[in-house]
Amino acid sequence: MQRDQQIFDLIGQELQRQRHGIELIASENFTSLQVMQAMGNVMTNKYAEGYPGRRYYAGCEIVDQSEQLAIDRAKQIFGAAYVNVQPHSGAQANAAVMLAILQPGDKILGLDLSMGGHLTHGSAVNYSGKLYQPHFYGVNKETGLVEYDKMEEIANREKPKLIVCGASAYSRDWDYKRIRQIADQVGAFVLADIAHPAGLIAKGLLNSPFAHCHFVTTTTHKTLRGPRGGMIMMGADFENPFGLKTPKGEIRMMSSLIDTAVFPGIQGGPLEHVIAAKAVSFFEILSDDYTVYANQILKNAQAMAKSFVDKGYQIISGGTDNHLMLIDLRNKNISGKKAEQVLVQADITANKNMVPFDDKSAFITSGIRLGVPAITTRGLKEEHMGQIVDWVDQLLMDADNETLIKGIRGEVNNFMKQFPLYPELG
């Protein structure tokens, strides 16, 4: 068979891009070589609609074992009673939970996208805002912290069927106990979307949602450092909570309802090669090495945040409890879009991001979001964060200086040679 040289050349170019640059996108990471090897395997050839021991196709005896390993390891990591590893993404994990427990037009309450929330938490352009009736809570304008009192006020007024907590650009921990208390007042379910901090929660470095939230969803990349994909978990199975109804009557077994929502509800055959890679990443998370890694994420994030604050940058909420930070650039007279562009030219990758109460559009933004999981995987430590912040600061303060950009790009490329990425790939 003739080799597709064009695509393999592009893959090689992407490898070089990743090797040469500083990756500060908070939702990105670098998997291990064995996770990538598990993704590129013969399990991609197998159709396996259904679940281990309950498939609609023959020949699933081996993929059953692989998927069950992924489930069992995820349960061990999080102390969960139920896990579904089939969702193709975090967005689909959220969609499945909503399909399982909501009817079109039901009210949901989530963190406003403009204040750090996620598209799937009720945004008008997303299925969650089109199928359901979304309401939103936000953060305090002065502190940048989630306003739980306001969440309670809105919940008592609107009586949502589901309260969603979690964010894509919020740097502080969550009070899951308080959220559950609010939900219990109005008879709502609680969904914790931990896609970003899951790896830190796995090692006990942030509050765990499992004792308080009915459902927990996550991606398997980001801080979990696995393949791209999603997962749904419950701390305990439960029956007929709050007497809520579904089209089939009272909820009797939530795990069965969630399984059915994933397949055949929103997906067909699962990606068994990706599920195998999830199992490999879960194996790695159970190791002592990953514990060291998770702790280093916190050290790096806090060191980076301090360096930015020392240079007069305004971090929303004043700092970080997790792996990321959201910086309001308005006092630096540069937009998020312009900041992203100049950083990319210097081989530093970050993303523009709206900040709470932003006066610019989502296409321009007043902020940038930065995260440290990927550079921590590369081996950078807290003593390196000051140098990265110096480069970022120089670029943002002189964003049209092409000579400066070129010079810093060379420094970045040379600096990252100390931290080789996939040397096994040649």
**Residue 142, number of CB atoms within 10 A of its CB:** 6
Question: Over the chain, what is the mean pLDDT?
Answer: 95
∠ Cα 376 16 347 (to 5°): 65
Residues that are catalytic: 47, 49, 193, 219, 222, 228
pLDDT in tens, 119-160: 999 999 999 999 999 999 999 999 999 999 999 999 999 999
Token output for 145: 């912290």
Q: What's the CA gap between 399 and 405, in Å, rounded?
A: 8
**Residue 215 annotated in ligand binding:** no
Q: What's the CA gap between 104 and 371, in Å, rounded?
A: 36
In terms of domains, do 400 and 304 share one?
A: yes
- 388 found inside a domain: yes
Confidence of residue 253 (pLDDT cuts 50, 70, 90): low
In terms of domains, do 107 and 255 share one?
A: yes
Q: What's the CA gap between 11 and 17, in Å, rounded?
A: 10
**Residue 363 annotated in ligand binding:** yes
**Residue 336 annotated in ligand binding:** no
pLDDT in tens, 11-59: 999 999 999 999 999 999 999 999 999 999 999 999 999 999 999 999 9
Crossing angle (nearest 10°) for helices 288-310 and 382-397: 40
Residue range 108-126: mean pLDDT, rounded: 95
In terms of domains, do 281 and 346 share one?
A: no
pLDDT of residue 239: 53
In terms of domains, do 141 and 96 share one?
A: yes
Share of the chain above pLDDT 70, in %: 96
- 2 found inside a domain: no
In terms of domains, do 90 and 41 share one?
A: yes
When mean pLDDT is compared across 75-84, 205-214, 232-241, the lowest value belongs to 232-241
Residue in 141, 150, 95 with CA at minimum distance from that of residue 115: 141
In terms of domains, do 334 and 275 share one?
A: no
Residue range 233-262: mean pLDDT, rounded: 66
Boundary of a domain, candidates 285, 311, 344: 285
225: left (phi over 0), alpha (psi -120 to 50) or beta: left
Q: What is the CATH number of the domain that holds 399?
A: 3.90.1150.10
- 3 found inside a domain: no
Sign, CA torsion 373/374/375/376: positive
In terms of domains, do 403 and 365 share one?
A: yes
In terms of domains, do 224 and 279 share one?
A: yes
Residues 61-78 as b/e (b if ≥16 CB within 10 A, e otherwise) read: eebbebbbbbbebbeebb
Residue in 162, 228, 163 with CA at minimum distance from that of residue 195: 228
pLDDT in tens, 197-235: 999 999 999 999 999 999 999 999 999 999 999 999 999
**Residue 122 annotated in ligand binding:** no
pLDDT tops 70 at residue 254:
yes
pLDDT tops 60 at residue 248:
no
**Count of domains in the chain?**
2
More confident residue, 248 or 426: 426
- 343 found inside a domain: yes
In terms of domains, do 157 and 241 share one?
A: yes
Element (H, E) at 132: none
Boundary of a domain, candidates 285, 301, 322: 285
Residue range 375-379: mean pLDDT, rounded: 98
pLDDT tops 80 at residue 243:
no
pLDDT tops 90 at residue 381:
yes
Confidence of residue 237 (pLDDT cuts 50, 70, 90): low
Element (H, E) at 165: strand 162-165
- 77 found inside a domain: yes
- 21 found inside a domain: yes
The verdict on whether omega for the bond into residue 373 sits within 30 degrees of 0, i.e. cis, is no
- 226 found inside a domain: yes
pLDDT of residue 255: 84
In terms of domains, do 92 and 186 share one?
A: yes
**Residue 10 annotated in ligand binding:** no
Element (H, E) at 309: helix 288-310
pLDDT of residue 238: 61
Residue 401: give the domain boundaries: 9-26+288-425
pLDDT of residue 426: 82
Element (H, E) at 108: strand 107-111
Q: What's the CA gap between 251 and 187, in Å, rounded?
A: 14
**Residue 117 annotated in ligand binding:** yes
Q: What phi and psi values does residue 82 have, to the nearest 5 degrees?
A: -140, 135
Could you tell me if 70 and 209 are in contact, meaning their C-beta atoms sit under 8 angstroms apart? no
Could you tell me if 99 and 258 are in contact, meaning their C-beta atoms sit under 8 angstroms apart? no
Q: What's the CA gap between 397 and 155, in Å, rounded?
A: 43
pLDDT in tens, 272-326: 999 999 999 999 999 999 999 999 999 999 999 999 999 999 999 999 999 999 9
Q: What's the CA gap between 22 and 186, in Å, rounded?
A: 46
Could you tell me if 23 and 35 are in contact, meaning their C-beta atoms sit under 8 angstroms apart? no
Q: What phi and psi values does residue 159 have, to the nearest 5 degrees?
A: 55, 60
**Residue 324 annotated in ligand binding:** no
Boundary of a domain, candidates 231, 262, 285: 285
- 1 found inside a domain: no
In terms of domains, do 234 and 323 share one?
A: no
In terms of domains, do 145 and 294 share one?
A: no
Q: What is the CATH number of the domain that holds 135?
A: 3.40.640.10
